[in-house]
Structure 1
Amino acid sequence: MLIDAAEVPYGTAQRRIHAMIEDGQIVKVARSTTGKSFYLQPSPEMYSAFVDYVTKVKSLLAETVGLTGMENADEFYFGGADFARDILPPPPLQSQLAESDQELKFLLHNDNYFSAMRNMWADYRNNLGSRKSFSLHFLPDLHERLHEFLPKSEFDVVTLNMPWLGEFAERDMLMSLDEFIDETNIRVMDFHPAVWASGTWGSRQYGVPIYVTIEAMAVRKDLFSEHELPHPRTFDQVIETGRQLQDPSRGFFGVAWNAARGMPIASSFMILMGCCGAPILNIPRARRYHNWADLVGNSFRPRIDSEEGQIVLDYMHRLVEISPPDILNMDWNRRIEAFLEGEVAMAYCWTMRAARFDYDIGSMVKKRSELIPQPKGPMGMSANPTGGFLLGIPANLPKSRAKLAFEAIAWMASPEAMKRHVTNGLPVAPRFSVAADPEAAAASPIVRFVDRLSQRGMLCTWQRPPIPEYRTIESILGERIHDALSGALSDKEALVMAQNEVDRAMQENGRY
């Protein structure tokens, strides 16, 4: 591969490689105990020199586009700072909507972001449409509505939870957006590659990321400072810290997290597996994101009944011991309320919901909270999962109508629209240009937190694989893992049953 990439004669390349081995720039690492074959990898010195080289190149490029005063090159993103100066205006949708003599209809998730989007659309100075054109639903109901309405094209623009993409794309229920993207110049390079890939199935783009939220941990910085405690970086440190800070006699506990039956606990299990470095499926661990449509055969085999699965269930049991009494009924909303109302010292939470800590009028933790990366499991990593929603178009919408729908998507996902939401307290910045905008960054510490995670390569998308069977996996885990924590099953029984049930579903779908 090195020789092919260099495009030099084979003999010349071989001599150069051997010279670099002799000089210590390349290190030979034995592939087996026999010592007959080797891997070639860069030496620490060579790696460091290369990093220094590309960092200098990056700094020079930043200066070339006029960015000055940076403390280090990591503060500059290719495709970011340049766009920050030129927040594009929305497309002239009013005339197109007037010509069509019909309002666009939207099927969206029911949360603060999409409520704000609905209001911005209806209140915009050109009066693009009315609030009645928007139908908002919570997650389980939204999934059902998509199955009900997508084939009928009752809506022009629909939103999907990112892990649902494979299900709807493989069933040809979504329209490919590639042609529209090329025509509208939506600036794909302005999106983080992993974020943009969340809307890709195979070689086609079926969704435009409208917002991204990161599962992290919120901590009470005032309590940590008062007790002189470091932030927890591992599972064990979370448990130890929770035990030190909790006081059940006065209704104060260590941590809040998703442990309710169904989607909440299934999501927790997959995310914590990721913090042990283990995907829920038999896929390579090292990659930050995958082309999920290319998975074949044994890649679909579940890894639920594994050492990492046992570690996660053990951790969950210990979390229960330092959690509020209603933990086995705690979902996304309840865990945010527990932290917001001062019931817990720590909380696993999505960054979108964490904005409430400082903006809610009744918040007991205003200016007292801080977000930290996901604590890691044994031999694992701080794998901070990326979640959020995509905007797509029903597959059988007429072409002229689909083009108009995409114009609306392009505006909703524009830097201007996203910046407006960020400055109004909604921490959403899946575009580099928004994250690089000084006003947007100053408006939300959460945006800066996510940006730092992104720069350090700590954002992942593989914990919740967006394959067509995702909802099946989620449903099975939601039952079996909860059974283990409630005592209805032993940990081993729960893991074996979940493994076998997912395995059976994959076989029935012809995956292997």
Structure 2
Amino acid sequence: MIEEWEAYAHRIKGLLGPLFGVDPESETGRRIFLDAAATDRVISPPAVLSARLELKGGLRGLIHADPTFMAMHNLKQQLESIFGLEIHNSARSIDDLLEAILTNAGRAKSRYDLVACDLPWFGELASKGILMPLDRFIRRDAFDLSDFHPVAVQSTRYAGQQYGIPLQTTPELLCYRKDILEEAQLEPPTTTEELIKAARRLHDPARGRYGIAWNAARGTPLGHTFSFLMAKFGQPIINLRRGEGGYDFQQASGEELRPMFLSDAAYRACEYMLDILKYSPPNILNMAWYERAQSYASGESCMAYCYTLLAPLIEFDRRSPAWGKTGYLPHPIGNHGRAITPIGGYALAIPANLSEERIEGVWTALRHLTSANMSKLYILNGSLVTPRFSVSRDPEVSALSPLIGIVDDMARQDILQAWPRPPVPGITDLISIAGHEIFEVLDGRRSIKKALSLAQDRADRVMRDRGFY
């Protein structure tokens, strides 16, 4: 009966999906969003648990220092009332967070109950046995993952097992000042050539105004930029095989993990960075996630690549010159590319070395912290990101910012993609290598060809040493 119902539902989606802009054969189209269809459904506040969590010493979390987790921190007393225990969180920057997770894995017993993991880390951490598989809990409790953005769920899987539950998905978009572009009689750029042209026209250092802000700081920030820009030109940073709507990272192994620093896309990505470098703020080589968002929000930059995670700087601050005047677009495409929006974000996971007696209580906390009720609560307290369709469609949430609906539409149209920074083993090493070697190009100390050659040699050595091919 269930199989017949699913077949019937698939036929109905085939008829109705195109009317709502959803391809029935896409990854999104294969999922049934019954709950999300109720666009006027208001999600209730989270209720106090019927039985307090029994976790000696309270709930211990290792989290990222960003607006969503800061919202959780500001809600600490309310969350403690809901769970009936104290909550102790340790917040870290992105690189320090990964290092802390790895250090904790070396302990006999985990110091933390829950750890926040950047989506690309799951392949690396799961392959090393650092995270606990969650499938047995998901099956036992019939925990429904269909309300989450499919790309976020895919990113938290490895070798067919689920290792995390998404807490936030945060696409990197192109933000642009609608008023300034209109004044200059420029259309919002949808290609790399159009973006360079717009940045050149808008760049006016004499007035303290710059064309575009982006991640150019050495290391992880620049490594992320490089991998996303390679995707603009149609090639992942590793040799993934083409799949439906992009590239398949779910079962990547062997030659599919070979770094692609010597590809045409890698060279074009570097050329593009050198082009926009001319129209960037003077401190661009020290600019990372927060600095680029602040540069745009302050009115210094006319455009910026920015994660929606930091959009509250734009959408909630009425003092910002960009408030109410910002448009959002997927990454402008290069040759051989297509419209995509690289996805970032965090998911909560349970360390594999957590004491046995704590596991059930921690799983209960994990389920509730990632629930639709909680996700809405975070947004009402300063966040602007959610991995859940139902939360995006809540009228109280969607009324806060047009960005909520923009991201929800991108998720439904399969524009959100994880393959530009795929969650596979070794990806953090490759991003670090890219961020250091290519910085020498931006700093004028090395040619593109030399930097990419050195990066390829280093990356091949790392991946071979780890036995990936």
TM-score, normalised via structure 1 length: 0.82
Q: Distance in 2 between matches of 1:249 and 1:364?
A: 18
Shift of 1:87: 3.5
State whether residues 119 and 152 of structure 2, in contact with CA within 8 Å, keep that contact through their aligned partners in structure 1.
no
| 1:139 aligned to which of 91, 94, 109 | 94
Asked whether the equivalents of residues 218 and 370 of structure 1 are also in contact (C-alpha less than 8 Å), the reply is: yes
Query: Which runs of 5 or more residues in structure 1 are unaligned?
Result: 1-50, 62-72
Match of 2:234 in 1: 277
Q: Report the CA distance shift for 1:232/1:258 in structure 2 as closer, same or farther (over 3 A).
A: same
SS in 2 for 1:479: helix
Equivalent positions of 1:454-473 (< 5 A) are 454-473=411-430
What is the SS of the residue equivalent to 1:338? helix
Amino acid at match of 1:119: N
Q: CA deviation at 1:284?
A: 1.9
User: Counterpart of 2:146 in 1: which secondary structure?
Assistant: helix
Of residues 85, 104, 111 in structure 1, which corresponds to 2:66? 111
Matched, 1:80 2:39: no
Partner of 1:190, secondary structure, is: coil
Structure 2 counterpart of 1:214: 171
After superposition, the C-alpha distances for 1:306-332 in whole angstroms (9 at most, x for unaligned) are 111111111100000111111111111
Which residue of structure 2 aligns with residue 17 of structure 1? none
User: 1:194, 1:289 within 8 Å by CA — same for their partners in 2?
Assistant: no
Instruction: Tell me the amino acid that sits aligned with residue 307 of structure 1.
Output: D
Deviation at 1:114, TM superposition (A): 0.5
- Distance (whole Å) between structure 2 residues aligned to residue 408 and residue 52 of structure 1: 38
Q: Which of 123, 128, 133 is the aligned partner of 2:78?
A: 123
Q: Do the aligned partners of residues 285 and 328 (structure 1) sit closer, same or farther apart at CA in structure 2, a change above 3 Å counting?
A: farther
Please tell me whether Structure 1 or Structure 2 has the larger radius of gyration of its CA atoms. Answer: 1
Question: Which moved further from structure 2: 240-249 or 289-298?
Answer: 289-298
The residue aligned with 2:465 is: 508
Report the TM-score when normalising by structure 2.
0.89
Asked whether the 8 Å contact 1:91–1:407 carries over to 2, the reply is no
Asked if the contact 2:343/2:416 (under 8 Å) is kept, the reply is: yes
- Counterpart CA distance in 2 for 1:125 and 1:473 is 40
Judged with a 3 Å threshold, the aligned counterparts in structure 2 of structure 1 residues 320 and 131 are, in CA distance, closer, same or farther, namely: farther
2:240 touches 2:249 (CA, 8 Å); kept in 1? Answer: no
Map of 1:368-383 to 2, 5 A cutoff?
Answer: 368-383=325-340
1:25 aligned partner: none
**Aligned equivalents of 1:438 and 1:89: distance in 2?**
14
Q: Of 1, 11, 15, which residue of structure 2 is paired with 1:56?
A: 15
| SS in structure 1 of the partner of residue 81 of structure 2 | coil
Distance 1:204 1:258, change over 3 A: same
Q: Is the 8 A contact 1:79 1:189 kept in 2?
A: no
- Over the residues paired in the alignment, what is the CA RMSD in angstroms? 2.5
Q: Offset at 1:436?
A: 2.1
Match 1:308 to one of 248, 258, 265:
265
Contact in 2 for aligned 1:219/1:370 (Cα 8 Å) = yes
**1:334 equivalenced with 2:334 (yes/no):** no
Q: Distance in 2 between matches of 1:182 and 1:242?
A: 51
1:189 paired with 2:146, answer yes
Amino acid at match of 1:122: Q
1:411 to 361, 364, 368: 368
State the partner residue of 2:278. Answer: 321
Q: Distance in 1 between matches of 2:80 and 2:89?
A: 18
* Pairwise CA distance, 1:120: 2.1
Deviation at 1:101, TM superposition (A): 4.7
Cα pair 1:121 1:129 within 8 Å, conserved? no
Q: What's the secondary structure of 2:399's corresponding residue?
A: helix
* Counterpart secondary structure, 1:387: strand
Structure 2 regions of 5+ residues with no counterpart? 1-9, 21-28
From 449, 455, 465, give the equivalent of 1:498. 455
Q: Is contact 2:116–2:347 with CA below 8 Å preserved after alignment? A: yes
1:95 maps to 2:51: yes
The CA distance in 2 between the partners of 1:194 and 1:456, in whole Å, is 11
Going from structure 1 to structure 2, the CA distance change for 1:249 and 1:494 (only over 3 Å counts) comes to same
Structure 1 residue 285: Cα displacement: 3.4
Aligned residues: 448
Q: Could you say which structure has the higher helix fraction?
A: 1
* Shift of residue 92, structure 1, vs aligned partner: 5.2
CA distance in 2 between counterparts of 1:187 and 1:87 reads 16
- Deviations 1:343-375 (CA, angstroms, capped at 9, x unpaired): 111000001112210213542221121211110
Q: Secondary structure of the residue that 1:364 maps to in structure 2?
A: coil
Question: Aligned to 1:285, what secondary structure does the other structure show?
Answer: strand
> Helix, strand or coil for the counterpart of 1:188?
coil
CA contact (8 A) 1:239 1:319 kept: yes
What amino acid does structure 2 have at the position aligned with 1:95?
Answer: A
Larger relative contact order (C-alpha < 8 A, sep ≥ 6)? 2
Q: How far is 1:379 from its partner? A: 2.1
Q: Structure 1 residues 79, 276: CA separation in 2 closer, same or farther (over 3 Å shift)?
A: farther
What percentage of aligned pairs have identical amino acids? 36
